[in-house]
């Protein structure tokens, strides 16, 4: 009789293109998900991610039930639970998708030792990335620190293998576990009330997204325009592994998406972020450029709160922050604008923005979030120069020319003419009255003038360089 196996779902909540499930080969299996907030510590799922996870697990369980299995749900230290479950069902092997977060790598090493001592195998499969980050090296055998040569190296490896089909049936083992509601993942109150209007978590939702995206005819021309649906919207589905990078890659290629090279480069930015995290596990907390440890940040709870609430007085910034709060997501161009405003105009530490995004993004991803914030702050690998400071008015006028984005998310400004929409403080009183706006009451004045914010940021940068000399 074939010995059973335990399959541990983690960041690969799908059946299609899941190498671990494929490797089961029809063996009896217990299919497990463990919510282990203790091991993740500070980087346990944020509030928006928890909403997504609840619905993703529900969808996964339904998909498993349709194939003769069910999802066993547990909560607590996986380092204890996984070996105990393996023992309970007499599993010869535990299989899972490989994780790259520092805390997960440490936990997996401990689990591997425990299972080995009991005579059981622990096999990790590549389920989340196109290529394992530790295998990509420069010609001198070192990790990459610049995106462009990294992306060239990955493109040179050729097309990734085609995705694996989902198993038609699974020989699931029944074992008592927790009901999904026992994980208490859903937020209290109505914070996430609008999320369902924007998202359909689960593998089927991911398939709908990729089908809709591949119908976009000009991704390269639309990806920077937040007022239209010009991006894939796949980031949360990738974050939870409801679709694999290989599926996305091949779908874009097969559909002949205009600008597919541009889109695939975005997939490789995600790979680059994990490459950095693998080699610099301190990246979520520590600037990759050591000189920035001396940067003279000016923490200010009031400024941080105004930014979080979308009340900075800069419409494009406020629209982004309100979109984030209400939908759990923000357009990538606007992420750069809002992040630059926080760390440069307001001189708030990039880690404060990283923490807020982590809690409020449904696609909160440790590697991508940390790498992106360090890029904007100028302290990361291949980062934008610190002195490159986004001008929020110019950014709004360039990428939200007709004001559709600002009018949607900052409705109190909706009646302003286009020429004043991104700078309402310049509108004459008669225009403001006609639009029903009292600046300082209905909508704030700018929290800081752009010129002043830019000058402060450059002075802080100069001070840091002087201290480092």
pLDDT at 2: 85
Given a contact cutoff of 8 angstroms between Cβ atoms, the answer to whether 28 and 54 are in contact is no
Nearest of 35, 64, 12, 48 to residue 238 by alpha carbon: 12
Given a contact cutoff of 8 angstroms between Cβ atoms, the answer to whether 172 and 31 are in contact is yes
pLDDT band at residue 84 using 50, 70 and 90 as cut-offs:
very high
pLDDT at 29: 98
CA distance 100 to 202: 22
Q: Whole-number mean pLDDT of the chain?
A: 95
Whether the pLDDT of residue 9 is over 90: the answer is yes
pLDDT at 257: 59
Active site residues: 266, 269, 297, 332, 350, 373
**What phi and psi values does residue 121 have, to the nearest 5 degrees?**
-85, 160
Q: Which residue has the tokens 């949360």?
A: 236
pLDDT at 262: 82
Sheet of 71-75: strand order equals: 71-75, 29-35, 5-9, 93-97, 121-125
**Tokens at 304, concatenated:** 């941080």
Report the sign of the C-alpha dihedral through residues 304, 365, 53, 55, in that order.
positive
Whether the pLDDT of residue 60 is over 70: the answer is yes
pLDDT at 263: 86
**Tokens at 402, concatenated:** 């007709």
CA 35, distance to chain mean position in Å, is 19
Q: What is the pLDDT of residues 102-143, one digit of tens each?
A: 999 999 999 999 999 999 999 999 999 999 999 999 999 999
What percent of the chain lies above the pLDDT cut of 70?
98
Rounded to an integer, the average pLDDT of 256-275 is 85
Q: How many CB atoms lie within 10 A of CB 324?
A: 24
**Beta bridge mates, 25:** none
CA distance 171 to 229: 41
Whether the pLDDT of residue 384 is over 80: the answer is no
Whether the pLDDT of residue 261 is over 90: the answer is no
| Domains of the chain as residue ranges with CATH | 5-127 (3.40.50.620), 129-163+204-279 (1.25.40.80), 290-463 (1.10.579.10)
pLDDT at 44: 97
pLDDT band at residue 1 using 50, 70 and 90 as cut-offs:
low
What pTM was computed for the model? 0.96
pLDDT band at residue 467 using 50, 70 and 90 as cut-offs:
low
pLDDT at 386: 76
Q: What is the pLDDT of residues 155-178, one digit of tens each?
A: 999 999 999 999 999 999 999 999
Given a contact cutoff of 8 angstroms between Cβ atoms, the answer to whether 295 and 460 are in contact is yes
pLDDT band at residue 468 using 50, 70 and 90 as cut-offs:
very low
Rounded to an integer, the average pLDDT of 11-28 is 96
CA distance 350 to 374: 7
For residue 284, give the 3-state DSSP assignment.
Answer: coil
pLDDT at 469: 39
Q: Which residue has the tokens 């494009």?
A: 316
Q: What is the pLDDT of residues 206-259, one digit of tens each?
A: 999 999 888 765 787 888 999 998 899 999 999 999 999 999 999 988 887 555
CA distance 76 to 188: 21
CA distance 457 to 378: 12
Q: What is the pLDDT of residues 303-339, one digit of tens each?
A: 999 999 999 999 999 999 999 999 999 999 999 999 9
pLDDT band at residue 358 using 50, 70 and 90 as cut-offs:
very high
Whether the pLDDT of residue 78 is over 60: the answer is yes
Whole-angstrom CA distances from 297 to 200, 239, 459 are 39, 31, 11
DSSP code string of 325-369: HHHS---HHHHHHHHHIIIIIS---HHHHHHHHHHH-TT--HHHH
Alpha helices in 90-218 (DSSP H): 102-117, 147-156, 195-198, 203-213
pLDDT at 454: 97
Q: What is the pLDDT of residues 398-429, one digit of tens each?
A: 999 999 999 999 999 999 999 999 999 999 99
């Amino acid at each position: 009789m074939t010995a059973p196996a335990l399959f541990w779902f983690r960041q690969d909540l799908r059946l299609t293109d899941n190498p671990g499930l494929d490797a089961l080969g029809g063996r009896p299996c217990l299919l497990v998900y463990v919510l282990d907030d203790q091991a993740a510590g500070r980087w346990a799922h944020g509030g928006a991610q928890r909403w997504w996870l609840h619905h993703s697990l529900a969808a996964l369980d339904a998909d498993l039930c349709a194939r003769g299995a069910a999802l066993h749900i547990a909560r607590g230290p996986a380092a204890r639970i996984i070996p105990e479950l393996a023992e309970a069902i007499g599993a010869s092997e535990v299989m899972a998708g490989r994780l790259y977060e520092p805390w997960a790598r440490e936990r997996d090493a401990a689990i591997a030792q425990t299972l080995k001592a009991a005579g059981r195998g622990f096999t990790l499969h590549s389920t989340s990335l196109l290529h394992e980050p530790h295998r990509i090296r420069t010609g001198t055998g070192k990790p990459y620190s610049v995106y462009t040569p990294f992306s060239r190296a990955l493109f040179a490896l050729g097309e990734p293998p085609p995705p694996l089909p989902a198993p038609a049936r699974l020989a699931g083992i029944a074992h008592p576990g927790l009901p999904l509601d026992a994980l208490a993942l859903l937020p209290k109150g109505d914070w996430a009330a609008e999320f369902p209007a924007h998202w359909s978590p689960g593998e089927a939702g991911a398939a709908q997204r990729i089908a809709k995206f591949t119908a976009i005819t000009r991704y390269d021309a639309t990806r920077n325009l937040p007022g239209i649906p010009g991006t894939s919207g796949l980031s949360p589905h990738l974050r939870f592994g409801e679709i694999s990078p290989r599926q996305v890659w091949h779908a874009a290629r097969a559909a002949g998406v205009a600008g597919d090279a541009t889109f695939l480069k975005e997939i490789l930015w995600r790979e680059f972020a994990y490459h950095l995290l693998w080699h610099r596990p301190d990246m979520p907390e520590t600037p990759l450029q050591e000189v920035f440890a001396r940067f003279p940040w000016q923490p200010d709870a009031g400024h941080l709160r105004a930014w979080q609430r979308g009340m900075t007085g800069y419409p494009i910034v406020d629209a982004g922050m309100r979109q984030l709060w209400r939908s759990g997501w923000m357009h990538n161009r606007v992420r750069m604008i809002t992040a630059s405003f926080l760390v440069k105009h307001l001189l708030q530490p990039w880690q404060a923005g990283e923490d807020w995004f982590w809690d409020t993004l449904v696609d909160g991803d440790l590697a991508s979030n940390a790498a992106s914030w360090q890029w904007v702050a100028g302290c990361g690998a291949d980062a934008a120069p610190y002195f490159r400071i986004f001008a929020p008015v110019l950014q709004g006028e360039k990428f939200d020319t007709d004001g559709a984005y600002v009018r949607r998310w900052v409705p109190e400004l909706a009646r302003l003419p286009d020429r004043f929409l991104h700078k309402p403080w310049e509108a004459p009183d008669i225009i403001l009255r006609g639009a029903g706006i009292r600046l300082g009451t209905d909508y704030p004045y700018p929290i800081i003038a752009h010129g002043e914010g830019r000058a402060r940021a450059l002075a802080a940068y100069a001070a840091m360089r002087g201290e480092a000399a």
